[in-house]
Amino acid sequence: MSDAKVYKNFINGKWVKSVSGETFENRNPADTSEIVGVFQKSVADDVNAAVAAAAEAYKTWRLVPAPKRGEILYRIANRLLVQKEKISRDMTREMGKIIHETRGDTQEAIDMTYYMAGEGRRLFGQTTPSEMMNKFNMTLRQPLGVCGFITPWNFPIAIPSWKMMPALICGNTVVIKPATDTPLSVIHLAEVCEEEGLPPGVFNVVTGSGSAVGSPLINHKDVRVISFTGSTEVGRKVSEGCAPSFKHCCLEMGGKNVQIVMDDAKLELAVDGAIWGAFGTTGQRCTATSRVICHKDVVDKFTSMMIKRAENLKVGNGLDESVQMGPCVNQGQLDTVLSYIEVGKKDGARLVAGGKRLTGGAYDKGYFVQPTIFTGVTQQMRIWREEIFGPVLSVGTFDTFEKAIEMANDTSYGLSAAIYTQDVNKAYTAMRDVYTGIFYVNAPTIGAETHLPFGGTKETGNGHREAAMAALDVFSEWKSVYVDFSGALQRAQIDNA
Ligand code: NAD
């Protein structure tokens, strides 16, 4: 065994080993000779202990006044800000994305924490007249209890914070199972919570696999909400797991996001957007631009500009400030990307940039692949239809605006879309007619801000939204309260003579 640091689970305010006595290693995808850390290979009994702690903590946490809960969140945000560089550097080591982006990931957690800290003084309900005399009606938000989170590796601290901060401000307690590729960022989040005095049991971390930790969390009778972000395939299983007990279930899943480039688009800007959208985070964003549909009159110019830019992207270890694209997160993801490149070629798309694993020197130690572009991609091809989750961009063409809209919507997913045009009418029409949860005009498909709802339609989600005030609806239930101060029985909908 190596001398790498061993990290423990965080249960009831204490750092504890898994009852399994087993651990797993996490390696740097840019340099697999580096072990980032050793983590607990947890099992159902660890989940049970964490849920029990969270259930006990809920009894008091739900009664802490929301503004006081907000004060703790505010301190956590301040501490995250102080720790931003350390957390971000460790995040680059554990999942590979470049340091500029991991700083953004950490900043998103900071923003979300401040935002929800402020919600502690709002959490507004409504007051409304009664249909009867001397009666007062209102609504208020009540917490649900223990929330279970299952998170992916591509936004290692942002996504956990999107779930955690609204859950906590509403008065719930939390057990989180982070992705096995990126547990360290969530461990750092727990360290900050501990330092800032979040009461024991309010936030618990159990590391390990989906089957050994995720499943018991989903099936636990004392967990009231499961919030999951990950693939549509696993999301479907999560949904089925929650159904028998009617557990609330919030799913954020895959995407096949599109950028439309009209013939009047500012092409430089459209290219900037597509390069950032397709190759930022090595294409491993749920909102990544994986399809560009380009008007036939500008597709050649757009493509040649794209090729030049893609070929000049500096790929490497994300801790080097000059690097523009990091590695794939692991061997499996690299294999998936390479196999889709073969599928694209076989299906008849034209490979015009990249297409190969990067090798030689430092590249041999990591999971690096070239930024890749296919043109001539048609709607039947698998690279058009399936989520690849890597730096592979498919370019298709259209001749009419109506066709562009039809092509944009021709996907089973519905997360993010963008249009580049100078025509305000077309921009508004596309905004209305493209069926996604997020839409951009003259900006790439990535770049969500924390105070707007985040999520998607169709097979991307199950109707919930994260972030913004929408997140409060996942982590609270409405209670309608009627106060009758008439001193007499008044019956709703009955003629009270
Ligand atoms: P994944 O579905 O493989 O894993 C997500 C999480 O689920 C991990 O923690 C994993 O350990 C766990 N898990 C796996 N099998 C499980 C099971 N049977 N029971 C319970 N838990 C289980 O996804 P990933 O590879 O980590 O992330 C990539 C995917 O996430 C992509 O599809 C991407 O689009 C999606 N994603 C979506 C959003 C969004 O907000 N819509 C955001 C980021 C990522």
Per-residue pLDDT tens digits for 399-456:
999 999 999 999 999 999 999 999 999 999 999 999 999 999 999 999 999 999 999 9
For residue 241, the ligand 1 atom closest to its alpha carbon is 19
Chain-wide mean pLDDT for the chain?
97
List the structure tokens of 213: 């930790």
The pLDDT of residue 496:
66
| Active-site residue, from 249, 286, 294, 328 | 286
Over residues 36-64, mean pLDDT: 98
Question: In the chain, what percentage of residues exceed pLDDT 90?
Answer: 98
Q: Hey, which of 182, 207, 231 would you mutate to test ligand 1's pocket, going by the most ligand atoms within 8 Å of its Cβ?
A: 231
Rounded CA-CA distance 63/343 in Å is 56
User: pLDDT digits over 234-290, tens only?
Assistant: 999 999 999 999 999 999 999 999 999 999 999 999 999 999 999 999 999 999 999
The burial of 285, by beta-carbon neighbours within 10 Å (0-12 exposed, 13-18 middle, 19 or more buried), is given as buried
Predicted confidence band of residue 495 (pLDDT cuts 50, 70, 90): confident
Q: What is the CA radius of gyration of the chain?
A: 24
Contacts 24+ apart (CB under 8 A), 242-251: 242/218, 245/221, 247/218, 247/223, 248/144, 248/224, 248/474, 249/225, 249/462, 250/225, 250/226, 250/462, 250/464, 250/466, 250/474, 251/461, 251/462, 251/464
Predicted confidence band of residue 3 (pLDDT cuts 50, 70, 90): confident
List the structure tokens of 144: 């649900």
Over residues 210-216, mean pLDDT: 98
Rounded CA-CA distance 289/291 in Å is 6
In this structure, is the dihedral angle defined by the CA atoms of residues 407, 251, 190 and 119, taken in order, positive or negative? positive
Question: In the chain, what percentage of residues exceed pLDDT 70?
Answer: 99
Q: Is 252 a catalytic residue?
A: yes
- The neighbour count for residue 211, using CB atoms within 10 Å, is 9
Q: What are the distances in angstroms from CA 7 to CA 16, 159, 208, 339?
A: 9, 21, 12, 34
| Strand ranges in 203-288 using DSSP code E only, listed in sequence order | 203-205, 223-229, 248-252, 257-261
Q: What are phi and psi of 285, to 5 degrees?
A: -115, 145
The answer to whether 125 and 211 are in contact (CB under 8 A) is no
The pLDDT of residue 238:
98
Rounded CA-CA distance 224/172 in Å is 10
User: pLDDT digits over 5-44, tens only?
Assistant: 999 999 999 999 999 999 999 999 999 999 999 999 999 9
Residue reference for tokens 């110019």: 301
Q: Is 402 a catalytic residue?
A: no
User: pLDDT digits over 134-183, tens only?
Assistant: 999 999 999 999 999 999 999 999 999 999 999 999 999 999 999 999 99
Asked if the model's pLDDT at residue 1 lies above 60, the reply is no
Over residues 54-59, mean pLDDT: 98
The answer to whether 38 and 14 are in contact (CB under 8 A) is no
Rounded CA-CA distance 7/40 in Å is 7
List of domains in the chain: 9-253+461-480 (3.40.605.10), 257-441 (3.40.309.10)
The answer to whether 111 and 121 are in contact (CB under 8 A) is no
Predicted confidence band of residue 497 (pLDDT cuts 50, 70, 90): low
Rounded CA-CA distance 247/265 in Å is 46
Distance 230 CA to ligand 1 centre (A): 2
Three-state secondary structure call for residue 170: coil
Q: CB within 6 Å of ligand 1 — which residues?
A: 150-155, 177, 179-180, 209-211, 214-215, 218, 229-231, 234, 237-238, 252-255, 286, 387, 389, 415, 456, 460
Q: Helix 66-82 and helix 99-119: axis angle, to 10°?
A: 160
The amino acid that residue 295 corresponds to is H
Q: Hey, which of 154, 215, 333 would you mutate to test ligand 1's pocket, going by the most ligand atoms within 8 Å of its Cβ?
A: 154
The pLDDT of residue 41:
98
